[in-house]
Amino acid sequence: MKKILFSFLAVLLVLTSCGPDPVKFNNTITKANATITEISVSYDSDLSNAVSNGNFAAIAAKTDSALAKIDTEITIVKALDIPKGGDKFKEAALKTYESLRGVVEAGKGFATLTQESAIEDVTKLQETYQAKVDEYSKSFQDLATAQMEYAAEAGYQVKK
């Protein structure tokens, strides 16, 4: 009986000392990335359609919805336990998601427009929005690099 108990305790100790599962960590962030990408594409399309149609009132609701979805993904990733070598990957993911928040918040500025808005106001909003999009694109590239570095350190390959 003592041998069985000792064996069980040894196995339990080994299992609990392994730490967070690196594959689960990667897969959770990868799933969040897919969701973030969907939010980005959908919001950009909604924003473009609203501006093209002069439906500026719809932008605020679309913005609030997108921000809530982004916040959900941020919460999920923040709650992840970090396996060995995953610090930079998690930081890059959170930076990317916060960057998308900046894009969406910049997009909300279009809700202040009306049919009578000056072209200069529209241009200024477009420039601000595009700068945030560029920042988001760069952070997403940095995230992809961080994921590849994490995968290399963890000893597995990331499927494209």
pLDDT tens digit sequence for 46-55: 999 998 898 9
Provide the pLDDT for residue 155.
78
User: Is 20-154 CATH 1.10.3470?
Assistant: no
Burial label, 153 (beta-carbon count in 10 A; 0-12, 13-18, 19+): middle
Per-residue exposure over 81-101, b if at least 16 CB sit within 10 Å of its own CB, e if not: eebebbebbbebbbbbbebbb
Mean pLDDT estimate for the chain = 87
Global pTM reads 0.83
C-alpha distance from residue 69 to each of 22, 32, 148 (Å): 25, 10, 26
Domain layout of the chain by residue ranges: 20-154
Tokens encoding 83: 């396996």
Q: Measured between alpha carbons, how far is 114 from 129 in angstroms, rounded to an integer?
A: 17
| Residues of the chain falling short of pLDDT 70 | 1-18, 157-160
Q: Measured between alpha carbons, how far is 64 from 36 in angstroms, rounded to an integer?
A: 15
**Backbone Cα Rg of the chain:** 22
Provide the pLDDT for residue 46.
95
Q: Measured between alpha carbons, how far is 33 from 30 in angstroms, rounded to an integer?
A: 5
pLDDT, tens digit (0-9, with 9 covering 90-100), for 107-142:
999 999 998 999 999 999 999 999 999 999 999 999
Provide the pLDDT for residue 159.
65
Q: What is the largest CA-CA distance in the chain?
A: 84
